[in-house]
Structure 1
Amino acid sequence: MSRTGPRLAAVVGLAAVVLTGCAQPGQLGHPDPEPVATVLSAPSAPAAPPPPTGPVLIGSGRVEERVNIRTTAPAEYAVETIVLRPGESTGWHRHDGPELTAVRSGEITVLREDDCQPARYSPGEAVFFPDGQPHLIRNDGRVPAELMVTSLLAPGAPSQTPVAPAC
């Protein structure tokens, strides 16, 4: 046997190893892979936005009159949202403490015991009622009026007390 025989056999053997290592499944004796089940999942919901940090303004309004708030004893502070539908009113009532009402949307008409001239308030405006002042708030508009009402009440007192109409 010539000297090239063993070298040729080694080269051919090395080529076979290299080619076998490079072979794709289904080639040169490599078996085809088992089929893999594909599971499709629904897209995930977008992440909720992070909660706001710092103060969050709920509502505001400008009071054009002088405001004087005093309590002679402890008071309970309350903030509530009231929505008056078109044609709806609060009825004549008073509070055992001062009230500040800001208009967030819509428009309201206000009547006071000491001033029966209707006063209109629009979004961004506010009206102040001193302790015990009878008044009525109504929606004479065509859309709901959303109000943010802030009050300081005597502990245990009702949020409002009905009174006889003043006008």
Structure 2
Amino acid sequence: MRGVTRGALTAFSLSGLAAASLAVLPATAEATPPDGVTGKILYQRTVGDTDYVLREITILPGGTTGWHFHDGTLYAFVKAGKLDHFGSNCKSDGKYRTGDTFVEPSNQVHIGKNLGKTPIVLEVLYVNPHGAPLSEDAANPGCSFQ
């Protein structure tokens, strides 16, 4: 599991927080925008030069986050479903089920997919440099799948 860490949210209690759609920059010709992803920002605060944003994200069956990266670190908790996560090397770097936690380090291109039959619900805490977007679209790094 290169670049993604399980169990990193034990100190974080994200219960009771709600959903948000992935905020991304406008898509470019090579970008792979999300499909079947919705959500809502529940909490947002800036402390010094750091933005903290808490969102609940839903990925419908067959949905994908599209290839993207984050300028900061993302901490996630799987409230429901199973997320299949792939890195820029085109290999799976995690299958996260209900109750699992994981971390996405900054500036690593990846994609999340819902290959199951039920929606995935994630509670996500973004820790970003002030003013940075929550995620940025990226081109498919050469994988045979989207």
Go from structure 1 to structure 2 and tell me whether the alpha carbon gap of 1:115 and 1:130 turns closer, same or farther (over 3 Å shift).
Answer: farther
- Identity over aligned residues, as a percent? 30
The answer to whether structure 1 residue 93 and structure 2 residue 71 are counterparts is no
The answer to whether structure 1 residue 120 and structure 2 residue 95 are counterparts is yes
1:112 corresponds to which letter in structure 2?
G
Matched residue SS, 1:91? coil
Equivalent position of 1:110 in the other structure: 85
| TM-score, normalising length: structure 2 | 0.62
Structure number with larger C-alpha Rg: 1
- Is the 2:69–2:137 Cα contact (8 Å) retained in structure 1? yes
The answer to whether structure 1 residue 58 and structure 2 residue 15 are counterparts is yes
Go from structure 1 to structure 2 and tell me whether the alpha carbon gap of 1:133 and 1:102 turns closer, same or farther (over 3 Å shift).
Answer: same
Q: Which blocks of at least 5 consecutive residues in structure 1 are unaligned?
A: 1-55, 60-72
Equivalent position of 1:141 in the other structure: 116
Aligned-residue offset at 1:165: 1.4
Give deviations 1:30-56, integer Å, cap 9, x for gaps: xxxxxxxxxxxxxxxxxxxxxxxxxx8
Match of 2:126 among 151, 154, 161: 151
Go from structure 1 to structure 2 and tell me whether the alpha carbon gap of 1:135 and 1:97 turns closer, same or farther (over 3 Å shift).
Answer: same
1:58 corresponds to which letter in structure 2?
S
Give deviations 1:124-165, integer Å, cap 9, x for gaps: 111211111111111111000100111111111111100111
- Is the 2:52–2:125 Cα contact (8 Å) retained in structure 1? yes
Runs of 4+ with deviation above 2 angstroms: none
Q: Which one has a larger percent strand, Structure 1 or Structure 2? A: 2
Number of residue equivalences: 99
Go from structure 1 to structure 2 and tell me whether the alpha carbon gap of 1:118 and 1:98 turns closer, same or farther (over 3 Å shift).
Answer: closer
Aligned-residue offset at 1:114: 4.5
Q: Which blocks of at least 5 consecutive residues in structure 2 are unaligned?
A: 1-12, 17-47
Q: Which has the higher contact order (CA 8 A, sep 6+)?
A: 2
